[in-house]
Amino acid sequence: MDFRKWTCCSCCLVVAALCLLTGRGGLGRSFSQDVVWIWSGAVTTHSVVVKAKLQPGIGRAKLRVNPTEEPEAVFEEPGDGYSEADPNGVVVFSVTGLVPNTEYRYVIETSGDTGQPGRFHNFADGPMSSRIGFASCATTGSNHRTFATLRDLKPLLCIHMGDFHYEDIERNDPSLFRSAYDRVLTSPRQGGFYRSTPIAYVWDDHDFGPNDADGTSPSKRAALRSYQQCVPHYPLSPVDGEVRTIQQAFTVGRVRFLLTDSRAERVSEGKPDGPQKTMLGKQQLEWLRRELRAVRERYPLVVWVNGVPWITKSQPGSGHGWEPYNYERTVIADMIKEFGLVDRLLMLSGDGHMVAIDDGTNSNYASDRAPHERAFPVIHAAPLDRYPRIKGGPYSHGAFAPGRWLPFLKAKQFGLMDIEEDGRRIRVELSCRDSEGNILKGLVLRMECDLDGCRVIE
């Protein structure tokens, strides 16, 4: 081997080693000749949405779907011919007519190639026991084994609470957001996870715009446009024909999930608190009111996925989470109380790069609360792969961010929600996990719910 070849090989080895050490890799790498990425979401009892990005020049594709246990029972979407990709290579498949509570395998087919298969399990038409993963915050394109751990735990779906990437995009250019989706979804472990697990995703600041982004973000239109283009999502709620926020709702068994958007209509944090200062925006707040009002009659449990810290009593003046939006927080807390949902609600959150559990001891922000009056449990689960940081509190079961005194080392953790339904009662176990899937000591909460309400059980 001559010196130049030796140097070249050495460089390659060094780069490969750096990729392994930093947990990065796979940037721009696709999993098949014709397909850049593919993932699923918007799962219901009878339907799913699959979105894929094709390589330049491919132009069209079809989706082949079959129940995992019936490899022969393949059906195609579209039934005839192929679906055309949009000018950016994104192709959308809306699959309906599925048999409830069935595991399906899907594969995309172009004229010359078949990509790696994905899978999803759709929801039961009635009570359903399930496992749901929830988390937020991963360095753009992270390839950490946390994602393989999550995949192996086989959650029914992954609720991603934001900071899907950290590109902090300030320019109103959808192609920058599309590149960010490409970098995440072509990372081998993340891409593999999202192929095997449907997504329910709402953004936080770093994946909506720049750090601490709000409704004035210059890249807001591009964020909204590329989200609708690339992410398989549940139905959104346009106002006068225009999507301004990405809140969405869905039901698994008898549990209702509400995901809110805490960025796109947020008034700047520095404005004085009061009736004009909003985190959700007027229309989204009305949406939340309608959804919560409807819950009482229909569901024993509602899970509000609220991206940012709700409890901020231990850090007055920190500006974290809902603290600068206390007026609206009280409006919502009063709403929850008025609808009789204090003992029917569970909150999942991200943003703080920590796991934390509060059993309701510290989450009461209703205007007429008595001293020590409890409210609903709050569970934080983050980061998937990002620097540790504790926000808000206090939390009855504590907060944990590994290596928080060595903040240059990334933390990797997530949450699991295991639901057991027998038609009468719902038992829920919420657990905070490390990157290997181990339960973090003391960070487990169990609840039991029926139509009379939920109780925290130990």
Q: Would you tell me which residues interact with Fe ion (CB under 5 A)?
A: 137, 163
Q: Tell me the closest approach of the beta carbon of residue 186 to Fe ion, in angstroms.
A: 21
Question: Minimal CA–CA distance to 259: which of 237, 241, 229, 226?
Answer: 237
Question: 233 or 353: whose CB is closer to Fe ion?
Answer: 353
Q: How many residues does the chain have?
A: 458
349 close to 306: Cβ distance less than 8 angstroms: yes
Q: Tell me the closest approach of the beta carbon of residue 453 to Fe ion, in angstroms.
A: 33
Question: 137 or 213: whose CB is closer to Fe ion?
Answer: 137
SS3 content of the chain, % helix, strand, coil (to 5): 20, 30, 50
24 close to 17: Cβ distance less than 8 angstroms: no
Question: 98 or 223: whose CB is closer to Fe ion?
Answer: 223
Closest residue to Fe ion, based on beta-carbon distance: 137
Question: 135 or 366: whose CB is closer to Fe ion?
Answer: 135
Q: Tell me the closest approach of the beta carbon of residue 386 to Fe ion, in angstroms.
A: 6
Question: 163 or 214: whose CB is closer to Fe ion?
Answer: 163
Q: Tell me the closest approach of the beta carbon of residue 206 to Fe ion, in angstroms.
A: 6
Question: 65 or 184: whose CB is closer to Fe ion?
Answer: 184
Q: Tell me the closest approach of the beta carbon of residue 184 to Fe ion, in angstroms.
A: 14
203 close to 164: Cβ distance less than 8 angstroms: yes
Provide φ and ψ at 135, rounded to 5°: -175, 175
Question: 137 or 417: whose CB is closer to Fe ion?
Answer: 137
Half-sphere exposure of 277 (CA within 13 A, CB side): 16
Q: Tell me the closest approach of the beta carbon of residue 211 to Fe ion, in angstroms.
A: 10
The residues near 415 (Cβ < 8 Å, ≥ 6 apart) are 133, 134, 135, 348, 355, 379, 380, 381, 430, 431, 432, 433
H/E segment holding residue 201: strand 199-201
Q: Tell me the closest approach of the beta carbon of residue 382 to Fe ion, in angstroms.
A: 6
Distance (Å, whole) CA 448 – CA 300? 10
Distance (Å, whole) CA 81 – CA 95? 15
36 close to 54: Cβ distance less than 8 angstroms: yes
Q: Tell me the closest approach of the beta carbon of residue 137 to Fe ion, in angstroms.
A: 3
Question: 54 or 381: whose CB is closer to Fe ion?
Answer: 381
Burial class (CB in 10 A: 0-12, 13-18, 19+), 143: buried
Question: 123 or 208: whose CB is closer to Fe ion?
Answer: 208
Question: Minimal CA–CA distance to 264: which of 243, 248, 250?
Answer: 243
**201 beta partners:** 160
Q: Which amino acid is at 130?
A: S
161 close to 351: Cβ distance less than 8 angstroms: yes
Maximum distance among all alpha carbons in the chain?
A: 80
Question: 211 or 367: whose CB is closer to Fe ion?
Answer: 211
432 close to 440: Cβ distance less than 8 angstroms: yes
Question: 95 or 259: whose CB is closer to Fe ion?
Answer: 259
Question: Minimal CA–CA distance to 67: which of 110, 20, 41, 99?
Answer: 99
Q: Tell me the closest approach of the beta carbon of residue 138 to Fe ion, in angstroms.
A: 8
Q: Tell me the closest approach of the beta carbon of residue 59 to Fe ion, in angstroms.
A: 37
Distance (Å, whole) CA 177 – CA 225? 9
Q: Tell me the closest approach of the beta carbon of residue 85 to Fe ion, in angstroms.
A: 32
Distance (Å, whole) CA 348 – CA 355? 11
